[in-house]
Amino acid sequence: MDRFVIRGGVPLHGEVSTSGAKNSALPALAACLLTEEPVILHRIPAVRDIVTMGKLLRRIGAKLELKAGALRVEVRSIASPEAPYELVKTMRASSLVLGALVARAGRARVSLPGGCAIGARPINLHLAGLEQLGARIHQEHGYVEAQAPAGLHGGAYSFERISVTGTEDLMMAAVLAEGETLLENAAREPEVGDLASLLVKMGAQIEGAGTSTIRIRGVARLHGAEHAIIADRIEAGTFLIAGAITGGELVVADCVPEHLTALILKLRQAGAEVAEVSPTSLRVSAPGPLRAVDVTTQEHPGFATDLQAQFMALMTQAQGSSLISETIFENRFMHALELMRMGADIRIEGRQAIVAGSSQLTGASVIASDLRASASLVLAALVATGETVIDRVYHIDRGYQRIEEKLARAGARIRRVREA
């Protein structure tokens, strides 16, 4: 298993570029299952979760080909409408193939994801929604089987709580269903909007994606399309925090500033300067000391749970006491324990963390427990004195494209040590 060795204390300068969004690329790949024609996807990030999704699609019957930086996906027929446990256990987003498979093949068998490092993560809402569209759901031996031999029909479904992949899964099921589907209390994340624009290019009829009410009129078939994935707002946000935490001046290029509004507001309240230097790039700097601010994670457009761990690292360097409340996942503070081993002063009370700063962090050997937790440890290491060794960086490779190379180009002393 690879590890990162980081020597902190260097303010980051220069420019880093943002890759395509992992959480947009994953549903886009699942959407390729909806047509027998080729779909060409640009800006697919080179991260491990995408490799896992590629493996899953191949098992299902897809042909994937990387050509001049674009991924061509063709699913002439569904060989096996199944997502096995070996793949689902390493990536919960595998359940995204459920809706598309029932819609295209009338049947899907997907391993139940089970819990993970950040919480229980059930898919009950995906299943309840599919039932509203006429699928028969049966669970056995750790698998869920969904059947609609005569095809799905339109229906109305209101999410009991907002689910990003739940909304995406049902959108993919509804585009080929007969009649109209109304999804209420739908997720408004930019990734949902991006999936809708791909589906519309494929011939789907969707209105309202990006709002909490989505209306879908089913069509008989979808066709091939070409689409570029949106920028990864979580990666861009991680870089903004990297610029601020090191007291440097960093330009984060190829991003979508309006997807980062909640983070930018908090960064400014904390004393960082964030300026839009072009419609697709932001410059961050932190000329003075940082101040503590409170943060509560929320669904989009609120403060993203996927940036909570990174913001906590920043708050260890801010003067005063910051209250961080996690409302989306029940167990997303694993990074706090590792940050404390580096010298942070953090108290966890249920779903709230109180961070007292600022603390002089010191390098230590730490272990990453999930993707965003790893990113927060990298950020902490960038300001710690001495050397930090972060183990199990395969977590970070799941969602960040060569983060060490991007940070090193901005001056960070970070290297990957490959385990034989």
Dihedral, CA of residue 158, residue 160, residue 164 and residue 170, to nearest 10:
-40
Nearest to 97 by CA among 89, 106, 108: 108
Active site residue 116: yes
Cα separation values, 383 from 9, 305, 339, Å: 5, 23, 12
Cα separation values, 393 from 104, 403, 404, 411, Å: 37, 10, 11, 20
User: What is the rounded CA–CA span in Å between residue 41 and residue 67?
Assistant: 10
Q: CB of 202 within 8 A of CB of 35?
A: yes
Query: Where does this chain bind ligand EPU (CB under 6 A)?
Result: 23, 26, 92-93, 119-126, 161, 163-166, 191, 305-306, 328-329, 371-372, 399
How near is the Cβ of 183 to ligand EPU at its closest, in Å? 13
**Closest to ligand EPU by CB, 309 or 315:** 309
**Closest to ligand EPU by CB, 26 or 175:** 26
User: What is the rounded CA–CA span in Å between residue 262 and residue 233?
Assistant: 11
Pairing of strands 387-391, 3-7: antiparallel
**Closest to ligand EPU by CB, 305 or 401:** 305
How near is the Cβ of 271 to ligand EPU at its closest, in Å? 27
How near is the Cβ of 130 to ligand EPU at its closest, in Å? 11
How near is the Cβ of 135 to ligand EPU at its closest, in Å? 15
In the three-class reduction of DSSP (H, G, I as helix; E, B as strand; rest coil), residue 317 is classed as coil
User: What is the rounded CA–CA span in Å between residue 16 and residue 236?
Assistant: 9
**Closest to ligand EPU by CB, 18 or 165:** 165
Q: CB of 101 within 8 A of CB of 60?
A: yes
**Closest to ligand EPU by CB, 66 or 120:** 120
- For residue 74, the cross-strand partners are 63
How near is the Cβ of 279 to ligand EPU at its closest, in Å? 25
**Closest to ligand EPU by CB, 124 or 269:** 124
HSE-CB at 222 with a 13 A cutoff on CA atoms is: 34
Tokens of 175: 């585009």
User: What is the rounded CA–CA span in Å between residue 231 and residue 239?
Assistant: 13
Set 116, 137, 228, 348: catalytic member: 116
In the three-class reduction of DSSP (H, G, I as helix; E, B as strand; rest coil), residue 418 is classed as coil
How near is the Cβ of 67 to ligand EPU at its closest, in Å? 25
Residue 278 DSSP label? E
| Active site (catalytic) residues | 116
